[in-house]
Structure 1
Amino acid sequence: MYTMSREQWWDFASEGTRTGKLATVRANGAPHVAPIWFLLNEQDGYDEIIFNTGAETVKGKALRRDPRFSLCVDDDTPPFSYVVFQAEAVLSEDLDESLLWATRLAARYMGEERAEAYGKRNAVPGEYLVRGRITKVLAQGDIAD
């Protein structure tokens, strides 16, 4: 087992179509976890997690109420590795910015040939672009070695 460097966890989390498991807290204090498509981005000297969610989803409401969230990305095959991010969200309803990122997200998860269609589907009124500034990272590789 080893602790991943920034370069290692960045590459690990960005590999292929790994989804993230987003953890937020409901208004009644209950935990909520949901799988999401995400991208990592470096912005003005800090790292961020970018994804879309509906404003009226459990995720959207939770992030509007409390911008803190965690995101887990893992490899469920031996020898097993994972990254857990803590971050603080900034929510945007800017449709131009949303279209740019929704298209990039779609390219990662659906392929370049379908990216434009999925980007347009997800960059609409009622959808948030979430930019989560990463505040803490726990990243372990080859846990079973």
Structure 2
Amino acid sequence: MAQKMTDDEWRAFVSYGTRTGKLSTVRADGSPHVAPVWFLLDGDEVVFNTGKETVKGRNLARDGRIALCVDDDRPPFDFVVLQGRARLSEDLAEVRYWAARIGARYMGEERAEEFGARNGVPGELLVRVAIDKVLARRSIAG
């Protein structure tokens, strides 16, 4: 029987290792667009980068609503879905700082600055999502 995760449990779950998020944004015609993203939690916000001219970037500029799913695909299966509204920043210092922090999580601290330099450039966005709703379950098949 599935069990609800506590606040501390879901935060630890989404921050564990290199789990990616599956980000859902809203296309202009109202249909969903889903893409994997590297991300971090920063307090009660999700932080990630994307290109301004990507499908994600264009969708978020028009309609900031998102859902982010993070899951463990191994039995007994756990997942967290975070919902909220995105705020976009093109401040290069901010974009570069967070790109480096995100790069450190996924590629290791020794490559953090490389990813900050690669992704902290004009045309890249910093996306901050205030978390409005959390659905977090563990042991789905348990």
Same fold at TM > 0.5: yes
Matched residue pairs, number?
141
> AA paired with 1:105?
I
Structure 1 position 76 matched with structure 2 position 77: no
1:1-145 superposed matches below 5 A: 1-42=2-43, 47-145=44-142
TM-score between the two structures when normalised by the length of structure 2: 0.98
What are the superposed Cα offsets for residues 73-126 of structure 1, whole Å, 9 maximum, x if unpaired? 000000000000001101000011111111000000000111100111001100
Cα distance between partner residues in 1 of 2:127 and 2:37:
11
Identity %: 63
Q: Which runs of 5+ in 2 are unaligned?
A: none
Letter in 1 for 2:39: F
Task: Give 1:72's aligned amino acid.
Answer: C
2:13 and 2:32 mapped to 1: Cα distance?
26
Tell me by how many angstroms 1:2 deviates.
0.9
1-side partners of 2:127 and 2:68: how far apart?
13
Tell me the CA shift for residue 25 of structure 1: 1.2
Scaled by the length of structure 1, what TM-score is found? 0.96
